[in-house]
Amino acid sequence: MAVSKPQRIVMHWTAGEYEISDSDYEKYHEVVEGDGTRRLCRRRPEANNDVNDGDYAAHVRAKNTGSIGLAMCCMKGAKERPFHKGKFPMTEVQLGAFINMVAEYAETYDIAVDRRHVLSHEEVDVTLKVPQDKWDIMWLPHMAKPGNVVEVGDFLRERIEAARAKKFDRSDSFLASLNEDDLVERIVARIKEELA
């Protein structure tokens, strides 16, 4: 079934090298390379509103409709158990750029930064109960070994939400300029005017 707008963001690592590959270009909507460079991929998120035409980014199993796919190019050759981060571990600068990028997409598409709407590929399995058979974003540069996938997701969401609040401050300057006393004074003045 098609949707009218993107519903969620699925976060990935590519299990590739630090630069965008041809398959990354087909699979995701945007990626961040190892040095923090962002690369747009072939399709815009709207392509996934309807997957029946076959023209969409296929980045998850059985959950591509309405799913924006954002990824970090890294983790080729990494092993989960025993943990071995390989030659292309996620970098701090890459993660920082990724957090800002996800915040931007969440803002643009009005997607809530919560467990059901901004989640890692592996959380699609755990939280949405759609089996993925993947290990994906279970480790971050400050961690000694992979952690609980939802805890890692929560760590990311907290930072994404903070980045979103910082970047897209919604405080309304008109409302902020009014305090209650001003408002009462104005109303009283208005009533006096009416009665005069």
CB atoms within 10 A of CB 171: 6
Q: Which is nearer to Zn ion, 12 or 29 (CB)?
A: 12
The CA R_g of the chain, rounded to the nearest whole Å, is 21
| Contact indicator for 76, 86 with CB cutoff of 8 Å | yes
Residue closer to Zn ion by CB (options 24, 136) is 136
CB of 68 to Zn ion, least distance (A): 13
Q: Are 126 and 150 in contact (CB under 8 A)?
A: yes
Q: Which residue has the tokens 């006393």?
A: 181
Binding site for Zn ion (CB under 5 A): 12, 121, 136
> Is residue 73 within 8 Å of residue 33, measured between CB atoms?
yes
Pairing mode of beta strands 8-13, 38-40: unpaired
Q: Shortest Cβ distance from residue 75 to Zn ion (Å)?
A: 10
Nearer to Zn ion, 43 or 121 (CB): 121
| Nearest approach, Cβ of residue 9 and Zn ion (Å) | 12
Nearer CB in complex with Zn ion: 12/170: 12
Q: Which of 59, 74, 82 has its CA nearest to residue 141?
A: 74
**Least Å from the CB of residue 136 to Zn ion:** 4
Contact between 89 and 141 under an 8 Å Cβ cutoff? The reply is yes
Give the nearer residue to Zn ion in terms of CB position, either 8 or 12: 12
